[in-house]
């Protein structure tokens, strides 16, 4: 299991200070809307400058018509800085296949994941939109993702095992909403701790606020790594 830390702080300076504190750890860094919209590609370069071995997950959740998604995916892959990025599974098999075909020959192409159900949904709010329970729809999205030759999915730890059983053991599951030692869940609804994540064969845990809001982020990361 790998640890991926969300860099969702209000300024690039604060994010970079956090990253410097954890620069000797074997972790992935997740750059999402907030940081990427504000700080762009330069921020990715600054992260790699702190430690070139950091792996970067660009969490922009692409969702558009197939050609527009493939254009964006191609630009991301050509950066040569991004190790993993994501799209929405609800964009459909055609869009996801178009993305994978477009980037297949780019050297060092990043891993690609597809978002199934956001971890901020509880079952009722999810059903209002998709008219189906989270568990069954997330697995359906995962099967669509798998046949599109995408590398894995973003899901909650509650769906990880069922998704692997319905696709492949090697199909990556990346799970946000992780509260390693039972910390406050914030706006996340389907939260899980480290033990549950391990039992459910999660490949990547994403941890944001429990690390970046802590006064001692280094210690928190060290403790998480010691327990995974
Ligand atoms: O602070 P917290 O640990 O809840 O952060 C979770 C991170 O994972 C946030 O950056 C959020 O955007 C992201 N994320 C998520 N649920 C998804 C996909 C990404 O919470 N399905």
Q: pTM value?
A: 0.94
Q: Give residue 124's pLDDT band: very low, low, confident or very high (50, 70, 90).
A: very high
What mean pLDDT, rounded, does the chain reach? 96
**Whether the CB of 6 sits within 6 Å of ligand 1:** yes
Question: Residues 6 or more apart from 104 whose CB is under 8 A from it?
Answer: none
Q: Give residue 167's pLDDT band: very low, low, confident or very high (50, 70, 90).
A: very high
CB of 196 closer than 8 Å to CB of 166: no
Q: How far is the CA of 187 from the centre of ligand 1 (A)?
A: 10
Kindly report the protein residue whose alpha carbon is nearest to atom 12 of ligand 1.
32
pLDDT at site 62: 98
Q: How far apart are CA 182 and CA 88, in angstroms?
A: 28
Average pLDDT over residues 72-101: 98
Q: Residue 162, CB half-sphere, CA atoms under 13 Å: how many?
A: 15
Q: How far is the CA of 36 from the centre of ligand 1 (A)?
A: 15
Alpha carbon of residue 98 to chain centroid? 21
pLDDT at site 222: 98
pLDDT, tens digit, 9 for 90 and up, residues 90-117:
999 999 999 999 999 999 999 999 999 9
Q: Which candidate in 21, 23, 48, 61 is catalytic? A: 61
What structural domains does the chain harbor? 2-227 (3.20.20.70)
> What are the structure tokens assigned to 3, written together?
């640890």
């Amino acid at each position: 299991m790998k640890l991926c830390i969300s860099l969702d702080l209000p300024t690039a300076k604060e994010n970079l200070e956090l990253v410097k504190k954890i620069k000797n750890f074997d972790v992935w860094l997740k750059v999402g809307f907030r940081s990427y919209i504000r700080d762009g590609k330069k921020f990715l370069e600054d992260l790699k400058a702190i430690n070139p071995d950091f792996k970067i997950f660009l969490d922009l959740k692409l969702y558009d018509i197939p050609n527009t998604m493939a254009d964006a995916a191609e630009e991301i892959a050509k950066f040569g800085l991004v190790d993993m990025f994501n799209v929405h599974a609800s964009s459909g098999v055609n869009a996801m296949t178009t993305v994978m075909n477009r980037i297949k020959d780019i050297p060092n192409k990043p891993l690609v994941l597809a978002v199934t159900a956001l971890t901020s949904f509880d079952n009722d709010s999810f059903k209002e939109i998709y008219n189906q329970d989270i568990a069954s729809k997330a697995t359906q999205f995962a099967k669509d993702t798998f046949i599109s030759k995408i590398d894995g999915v973003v899901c909650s730890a509650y769906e990880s095992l069922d998704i692997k059983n319905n696709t492949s053991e090697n199909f990556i599951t990346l799970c946000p909403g992780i509260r390693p030692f039972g910390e406050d869940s914030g706006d996340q609804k389907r939260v899980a701790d480290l033990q549950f994540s391990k039992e459910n064969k999660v490949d990547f845990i994403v941890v944001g606020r429990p690390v970046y809001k802590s006064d001692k982020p280094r210690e928190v990361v060290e403790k998480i790594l010691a327990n995974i």
